[in-house]
Each structure stands twice: as structure tokens, then as C-alpha cells.
Structure 1
Amino acid sequence: MKLMKKIAKMLFAASALLFLLEIGLRVGLGLGNPVLFEPSADYGYFPVANQDVTRFGSHVVINHAGMRSAEFADTKANGTRRILFVGDSVSFGPTYVGQDEIFPTVVRTEKNRKSVVNWESLNASAPGWAVGNELGFIKSRGIFEADLVVLVINTGDLMQPFSVIDGTGSFPYKRPPLALDEALFRYGLPKLGLAPGTSADHGSTGDATNALPVSEVLASISEFRSIVEHSGARFILLYTPAIGDEWHKPIWTAAHESLDKWARETNCDLVDFSSALNDADPNQNYFDGIHLRPTGHAIVARKVVSKLNALN
């Protein structure tokens, strides 16, 4: 009888501890409530519409169109200027960068400080996307009456194939049953090397796994630009470099040079942040050599605002 009571107490204590840990992970880190995605035959996948999530202390809001940006009317109001950013996790911002700190939001905020017109910023971006995904998106869904479309790419995108997901890992289709489940299977086991860290098949790694020819990616950018300009909007290509030894290999240097040459030959409006983001200590601007810290987002936003001011 004493043994049974001892076991019961131990089980109760363990259950209470797990309950408190579950509550702590949910309230403290936002685990158990990840940003959800849905598949698309046209553009691979996209965030599910109408989400409001707080993860690792940062706010993530997904509007009715599945974009990480403020709500907007489907029909643009008179006196409104609209910018559409299309990109991957660089413009989406990892979920540990707050909604107000990602550069598509900062650009809107700064433009509206002294403008007589209302500026809207739409952020049609998804982590892991390639140029092929981004092209598929505007082919399928158009440019949302934007006056200006900014295609955001980074080094890995220059040879990245079309990206798909299977609804697990970092790209879930549904919420996990428990925050503990997410902590273990999305973060704990992958960090220990006991499970894959992501379910995305996109190959945007420094070793150029499954790489496309740069010429094929540039052709997709050309098609993207053509769609934008035929829709009556201005096109800008924004490039942020990936940094670190794996990205300094000759294959990536050559890819960047090909981009620069193509932009000159086609008179493409290319905004290259290679110097701006590398002038300071890279650790101040990057989390991991690809994704920008708030300071990096601020640098990009300032230059984009300056570019817009020069266009007016």
C-alpha cells in the first residue's frame, strides 16, 4: 500500500511538472501555436490566412491574403500608393523578428511619416521560397494593384529550385497537440541530430545541392519583371548577400557576378545590399549569415525608402 501511494505521488508530481512545463512553453515561448502553411500547386505553399501568433516574444500577423503585413482593401483606395514585396524568409522575417521590425513594415511606416498619400506595404513572402515559387505566385494571384513590386532575393536563390513542403517540421499544416510535442520534434531532436530540422525541399544551401543553372533563375526573374511591367507597375530587384565561408565559394561568387551582369545588360533596377550589410560587423546584421536581425532590416528599409524618395 505504501509503495502504491509513493508511486501515485510520483506520478502526480510528474504530471504537475509536465503541465507547468506545457503552460510555460505556451505562454513564455509561444510553442504549440506555430505559423501554419498550406500547399499550392502554383507556388508551392503559403502561410494560412488570418493568423495572429506570438513566437519567442515576437508578433506575427498574417492578413486575409496570407501575407505577413497589415490588412488592406482588395480594391486600392484613391490617394493610396501600394508596394508589393515578394520574397522568402529574408523579407518574411524569421518569427523571432517582430512584425514592426521587418523591412516591409518599416518601409511603410517611414514613407507615411511625411507623405501626403497613404502608403501600403504588402509582404507576399514565405520562408524557403525560390524565384520559381515567387514567379508562380504572381502568375496565379497577380500584383494586387501595386504601383511598385519589389522582388527580394538572396545568394542561395540564385540557384535554388522550386520549393515544396509536406506539412511537418518548420512548415506545419496544423497545430501540434502539445507545446511539448513541438519543443521535442521541431527543436529538440533536430538539434541533437536525431530528426531532420526542416521538411522543406528547397536546396538553398551553401553546397548548392540540387542547384539550378543561374541562367534559368535569371530567366524566371525576367519573366517576373515582364509580368509586373505589363501590369503597369514598376519593378525593383533587391538582393541581400548570404555571408559565411560556405557562401564565399567560387560558385556563389560567379552567380552573384552573373546577376550583376544580367542587371546591367537588361537595364534592371537592382538594389544590391552587399556593401551596406557588410560594412558593419556582420553579426550585428545577421542571425545566421542569411536571416537579418532588426538592425539589418533597418538598413534595408532605409535604402529602400531612399530609393522610393528618388523615384517620386
Structure 2
Amino acid sequence: MNYWWMAGLLASGLLLELGLRLFGFGNPLIYIADPQIGYLLAPNQRTRRLGKHIAINQYSMRSPNITATRPQETLRVLLLGDSIVNGGWWTDQSQTISALLQQQLQAQSLSYRQVEVLNASANSWAPIVGILLVTLGGTAISLERMTLQNRAMRQAKLREEAKAQDEG
């Protein structure tokens, strides 16, 4: 009996597996269930997806590791949001909104020696999830500023700006 077709099928499967692992699909980010907010990223994860670096800190944020207490001369800003803030898995850690904002704030001559922009977000989070995360004590860190942004809020703001332009 001819088993070449089985060997070809097995070889194709192995090549597909290796190819997917090379592109970063062999080490997906893990989410954990949360009774109050539904789900969040498991803490302390590092991976690459499609060549993009993704890091999740000890507080389940897409940010570098931080101390719970804000250092004295540090401006600490918390961004809450959905996939827009998160950047999705196609955005390198250095190109997320939080990383870019941190670079801009650090470049300005502020009265702070250090700037930390924290990224508490996950794909498909609604605005209420960010509010729950903070109000239920899910983020036990000291902050200087906090902002909430998601796709629906951004679209509403764009509609308001367009309407104001049409009226003006």
C-alpha cells in the first residue's frame, strides 16, 4: 500500500506548524477570568507576535514593570481602553499610544524627572471595564493622571468635531 500521501500530509502539517511558530503564533498571550470585569491579560508575559514585541507587566498592563508607589519625581498617567489603547497584537510595544505619549511627555520640559504612561487595556473592553478596574481596586498603584479612551468614544468625538466644522 502507498503511504506517500500520508507522509506528504504529515510533512505539510509540520511545515505549517514551524512557519506559524516563526511568525510568533506559537506563544499567544494568555487572558485570565475576572469576576468583576470579565477578563484581563495574565500578568508577567513577554512574547513576539508577527515580529512585534509585546510585554505585559505584573499588574496585567501592556507597560513595563513599575513600583506600586509612584516615585516622588515621576509623572504617572494611566490610560484605560480597548484595542485602540492596547495597540492590538500587530503593534510593537514601542509604538503603542502609551509608549508614544510617554516619549512625548518625557521630551517636554516638565517639572518631573521621569514619566510613566501605563496602559491598562485589553481588546474589546468597554468603557465601564476601565472604570470598574479602578473603582474596584484592580489597580492598586498611585497615579498622577488618568484618562479613559476607547473606539466608541473616539468615534463620538470625531462626529462632534465634524458636526462643529459643518456648523462653523
TM-score bracket for this pair, using the shorter chain length: 0.7 to 0.9
Partner residue of 1:240 out of 132, 154, 161:
154
2:133 matches 1:137: yes
- Which blocks of at least 5 consecutive residues in structure 2 are unaligned? 163-168
Cα RMSD of the aligned pairs, angstroms, is 1.9
TM-score by length of 1: 0.47
**Alignment-derived partner of residue 263 in structure 1:** none
> How much does 1:89 deviate?
1.0
2:86 matches 1:92: yes
Map 1:175-254 → 2, pairs under 5 A: 239-241=153-155
CA contact (8 A) 2:59 2:139 kept: no
CA contact (8 A) 1:89 1:125 kept: yes
Q: Distance in 1 between matches of 2:158 and 2:107?
A: 24
Q: Which moved more, 1:52-61 or 1:41-50?
A: 52-61
> How much does 1:131 deviate?
2.1
Q: Distance in 1 between matches of 2:5 and 2:30?
A: 37
Q: Distance in 1 between matches of 2:158 and 2:52?
A: 25
The one-letter code sitting in structure 1 at the alignment partner of 2:141 is F
Q: Distance in 2 between matches of 1:154 and 1:11?
A: 48
Q: Distance in 1 between matches of 2:134 and 2:59?
A: 13
Higher relative helix content: 1
Higher relative strand content: 2
> How much does 1:62 deviate?
0.6
2:11 matches 1:16: yes
TM-score by length of 2: 0.85
Question: Structure 2 vs 1, CA of residues 106 and 33 (structure 1 numbering), >3 Å: closer, same or farther?
Answer: same
- Which blocks of at least 5 consecutive residues in structure 1 are unaligned? 156-238, 242-255, 257-271, 277-312
| 1:65-122 Cα shifts (integer Å, max 9, x gaps) | 1001111111211211100001111101111111111111101112222445200011
Number of aligned residue pairs: 158
Question: Structure 2 vs 1, CA of residues 113 and 75 (structure 1 numbering), >3 Å: closer, same or farther?
Answer: same
The one-letter code sitting in structure 1 at the alignment partner of 2:107 is R
